[in-house]
Structure 1
Amino acid sequence: MKLTEERIAERLERAAGWSREDGKWIVKKYRFPAFTGSVAFVNEVAQIAEELNHHPMIAIDYKLVTLRLTSWSAGGLTELDFTSAARYDAVYAQAIS
């Protein structure tokens, strides 16, 4: 179910580094010390996306990975977008530690 504007604002407050784009996306950029770290992170993201059956838009620009999330079937943002975001953040935290 598509989230209300109020709920989206609440969820974004707790989603460090994520921002809203064009009203229907949440977006975050992840930096890595090397290209290989970017690719390894994207491979982990792919595994989570398959598990959740919820796939982000992904851009790899050398040592920078950009993820964009939305729920096409709901016509906007859902809890699954924020659940996915939290999972990706956890993978990133582990990757850079």
Structure 2
Amino acid sequence: QLLHFCILLGISLAALLGNGLIISAVACGHHLHTPMFFFLLNLALSDLGSICTAVPKAMHNSLWDTSNISYKGCAAQLFFFMFLLSAELSLLTIMCCDRYVSICK
């Protein structure tokens, strides 16, 4: 159980660091205020949100050796996870269309 917690902690910290670097680079760099970097910023934010919905409860369950979650908590976690994943998929689709248009022109 402790190994599972450490693996989840490492994955979540790596995702937090990577997405945090992307967010800070795009937000601070004035030459990065183009549509593609705007979409990349939103993709990093939705990725952080999707990681922060499921991983903390899994870390809590593995650390305390429980598997309890309330019905409302499960429904909220599922709603936010599906919402953020659909937003991520939509952003990837828009980014692909933007890149296709820029290549064709």
TM-score normalised by structure 1 residue count: 0.31
Structure whose alpha-carbon radius of gyration is higher? 2
- Larger relative helix fraction: 2
